Amino acid sequence: MNGLRAFWRSSIGKKQVMAVTGLVLAAWVALHMVGNLQVFQGPEAINHYAALLQGLKGPLWGMRLVLLACVALHVVAATQLTLRNRAARPEDYAVRIPQVSTLAARSLRVGGVLLLVYIIVHLMTFTVGNLHPDFIREDVYHNLVVVFRSPFKTAFYLLAMAALGLHLYHGLWSGVRSVGASRPSPEPRRRRLALVVALAVALGFAAVPLAVYLGFVQ
């Protein structure tokens, strides 16, 4: 128990918690994206799939609890590490000229906050339904089509998916490194793999709002 507490208190422990929870969330998000693509097969396919998932009462709640715990640990560790970094250097640098950091690395915190807001709005729209203008619990297809007729909501989703792509790109390769699954190397092959996965997930998700908004899915 004391070992666990010491692990959580250490900065490297928090980084590893962020990495493990981030990788679990990334795997789940990739599965969610593939599930969403069923919209292109028509209302029966996606509604049938949603009904199947909703029918798995125990496992569904188990999955929700794991996701909730991962999001909570990820956000708490990120906030505490940010506060620690600031306390270690209360004064900012006079000049900041990014040399080797990527846009994805520099946008991690802002993107993370946007994703948190996005997840709350998203759950209230499609799962609880209280932010949806015409929510029908058993009709996921209808729920999607109604929301993405709005240019504002479509733009919000596309912006969030851009943030998700950047977050995944940086998070995937740095997460794999934080759990010790890859040694530092000048050979950036893993970055390329992270780029491919991040692009596939962000574009796969973005395809649904775009297709509805442009009238390909009605």
Tell me how far CA of residue 33 lies from CA of 130, 178, 212, in angstroms.
Answer: 23, 25, 16
8 versus 197: smaller Cβ distance to ligand HEM: 197
Which residues, 6 or more positions from 78, have their beta carbon under 8 angstroms from its beta carbon? 18, 109, 112
Can you tell me which of 127, 182, 188, 193 binds ligand HEM, judged by CB under 6 A? Answer: 127
| Pairwise CA distance, residues 18 & 10, whole Å | 12
N-to-C CA span, the chain: 55
Question: Is 182 in a helix, a strand, or coil?
Answer: coil
Report the nearest approach of ligand HEM to the CB of residue 212 (Å): 9
User: Which residues within the stretch 16-35 sit at the binding site for ligand HEM (CB under 6 A)?
Assistant: 29, 32
Residue range at the interface with ligand HEM (CB under 6 A); choices 6-14, 47-55, 80-88, 176-184: 47-55
56 versus 193: smaller Cβ distance to ligand HEM: 56
Q: Which two tokens stand for residue 27?
A: 């795997």
User: Which residues within the stretch 151-170 sit at the binding site for ligand HEM (CB under 6 A)?
Assistant: 157, 161, 164
Exposed, middle or buried: residue 216 (CB in 10 Å: 0-12, 13-18, 19+)?
exposed
Report the nearest approach of ligand HEM to the CB of residue 92 (Å): 30
Report the nearest approach of ligand HEM to the CB of residue 189 (Å): 26
Question: Amino acid letter at 104?
Answer: A
In contact, 147 and 125? CB cutoff 8 Å? yes
209 lies in the binding site for ligand HEM (CB under 6 A) = yes
51 versus 103: smaller Cβ distance to ligand HEM: 51
77 versus 202: smaller Cβ distance to ligand HEM: 202
Report the nearest approach of ligand HEM to the CB of residue 182 (Å): 24
Can you say whether residue 91 is alpha, beta or left, with left for phi > 0 and alpha for psi between -120 and 50 degrees?
A: beta
User: Which residues within the stretch 77-106 sit at the binding site for ligand HEM (CB under 6 A)?
Assistant: none
- For binding to ligand HEM (CB under 6 A), which residues are involved? 29, 32, 36, 50, 53-54, 64, 67, 115, 119, 122-123, 126-127, 140, 143-144, 157, 161, 164, 205, 208-209
